[in-house]
Structure 1
């Protein structure tokens, strides 16, 4: 199998007002244009999603205004609400235990931004950014860490893309219980599984446009929720196999870098792009690839880049 490479970068953006975030976002903007829904391109749709954002994420409104104002694009504010984006469905695996959040992120390499961002929009947050300011996973200075996997069901409704929900929880919450409480009032567009960890607790919560947030039996998630998995789903996603494997392995990085949890990049272009281990009490995250790792922390965040090999499990 041909080995692929992907470059990840780490940047600091402060409160988003000094041009560093904007320079990064402008460089990515052309590739983002197709993610906005047709409704989001209409005046009525834009008004609806801006109102939704202001109603449900009022603390982030000043940040939204600050960021959108630097992009000089008429649709920037609508886009940055993450409430008018086309759905996407990464196939990931994650577990929270003993103050640690461990996850694999599986997606096509050319469709992942691959940017580790240290920000202080409302508070210090470090995470793997995607779609300009959303987060696939991350932690804050209170010791809370959050990551997401696709919930595996093909339903869609009005609400937010999960990446801005992860950002919002980390910007505004100190604990798992507080974050779970916030989730109960946030409309989410696509079924997703959130795993949350703080110094005292770890849970997984199932969310979606057709259900109330539901706490899972344990703090593990692959790509299904409360409903039975069909044979077709299992063949495509191997979600039950991965969930059993991560429950058995626990927070073991070595297991995450081997099948069935690690997925080599296949002919369809999907694969495990990174493994992340968050230790939020220590303010530290380490990203892993077979044979390589990269650590970042609140005390010692180092901007730079890493080009890593994908396509072969260890």
Structure 2
């Protein structure tokens, strides 16, 4: 249970057309581009990705074109569709209810972008960015908040990375009902759990390339879906233990910052990188670490950086 440090940044990018998004993204591109599959680097793969994007996310096509022009890199458009990216698997625990979404994001800190982004591609959105415009979690100005966890099943199929799907839901939906209706029609390439909240309701749904969207029993999620968890998987991820713990504790930041919900296996990609406490009806989110916190809001978004300590002595 060692400690390590990670630097998080908060940036405003507007609609992505004035150079701020590109200035942040250009240094990330060499690493981001490695996420692409070989198929995505072919003309045929690029055409399929563009067609899929236009079919399922037509409202975001102007933003896609705007960002592609700002980035000016080979394969930029195809990468930004996030329809030709290799899979990634993470930990995570999340719970929603009473207008609040609380989550731990568990991953390898060295592979996290660590960028809190305030944007206005179609509407005001604040969230934790990954893959240069996808989101791990976030909220919009209508009071909707969403977050993801890996569904625990190593299946893969055609479709989008859930990172961009969360972005799309926040850009185009006002309520949980609207977001769930859209989510049910979008192909997702990996097994994922999505928790959604608005001022009136909260729910978690299971999605994946091999299942129809399936509502979870409650608005909680760790790293399994509707099938039994093999003992070996439970020993490695403690997903059932964490689900029981978050159900028992409720939306409690203190509990999220302690075991079993707070995890330390950073070298295995299962250490807690941050805790996010979204209050979207209030337009604010607070990111927590064991020794400090950082609040951002639509009314008072503060660009800057913080170097924080992860883990415990």
Task: Give the shorter-chain TM-score range.
Answer: over 0.9
Q: SS of the residue aligned with 1:73? A: coil
Aligned partner of 1:220 in structure 2 is: 220
Q: SS of the residue aligned with 1:305? A: strand
Q: SS of the residue aligned with 2:164? A: helix
Measured in 2, the distance between the counterparts of 1:222 and 1:174 equals: 25
Matched-pair contact (CA < 8 Å) for 1:265–1:312: no
Which whole-Å deviations, capped at 9, do the CAs of 1:131-185 have from their partners, x for residues lacking one? Answer: 0000000000000000000000010000000000000000000000000000111
Measured in 2, the distance between the counterparts of 1:266 and 1:177 equals: 36
Q: SS of the residue aligned with 1:285? A: strand
Measured in 1, the distance between the counterparts of 2:91 and 2:273 equals: 11
Measured in 1, the distance between the counterparts of 2:269 and 2:161 equals: 23
Aligned partner of 2:165 in structure 1 is: 165
Which whole-Å deviations, capped at 9, do the CAs of 1:196-255 have from their partners, x for residues lacking one? Answer: 000000000100001111110000000000001010110111100000000000000000
Matched-pair contact (CA < 8 Å) for 1:82–1:160: yes
Number of equivalences: 313
How much has 1:268 moved relative to structure 2? 3.2
Q: SS of the residue aligned with 1:229? A: coil
Matched-pair contact (CA < 8 Å) for 2:104–2:274: yes
Matched-pair contact (CA < 8 Å) for 1:109–1:270: no
**Alignment TM-score, normalising by the size of structure 1:** 0.98
| Structure 1 segment 1-314 matched on structure 2, within 5 A | 1-268=1-268, 270-312=270-312
Q: SS of the residue aligned with 1:13? A: strand
Gaps of 5+ in 2: none
How much has 1:32 moved relative to structure 2? 1.2
**Alignment TM-score, normalising by the size of structure 2:** 0.99
How much has 1:34 moved relative to structure 2? 1.2
Measured in 1, the distance between the counterparts of 2:269 and 2:251 equals: 27
How much has 1:287 moved relative to structure 2? 0.2
Change (3 A) 1:269 1:194: closer
Change (3 A) 1:53 1:269: closer
Which whole-Å deviations, capped at 9, do the CAs of 1:243-289 have from their partners, x for residues lacking one? Answer: 00000000000000000000124443541000000000000000000
Q: SS of the residue aligned with 2:70? A: coil
Which whole-Å deviations, capped at 9, do the CAs of 1:60-100 have from their partners, x for residues lacking one? Answer: 00000000111111200000000000000110000001100
Measured in 2, the distance between the counterparts of 1:58 and 1:266 equals: 38
Matched-pair contact (CA < 8 Å) for 1:265–1:310: no
Q: SS of the residue aligned with 2:55? A: helix
Measured in 1, the distance between the counterparts of 2:266 and 2:130 equals: 22
Measured in 1, the distance between the counterparts of 2:270 and 2:160 equals: 24
Over the aligned positions, Cα root-mean-square deviation in angstroms equals 0.9
| Runs ≥4 residues deviating over 6 A | none
Matched-pair contact (CA < 8 Å) for 2:101–2:146: yes
Measured in 2, the distance between the counterparts of 1:126 and 1:191 equals: 24
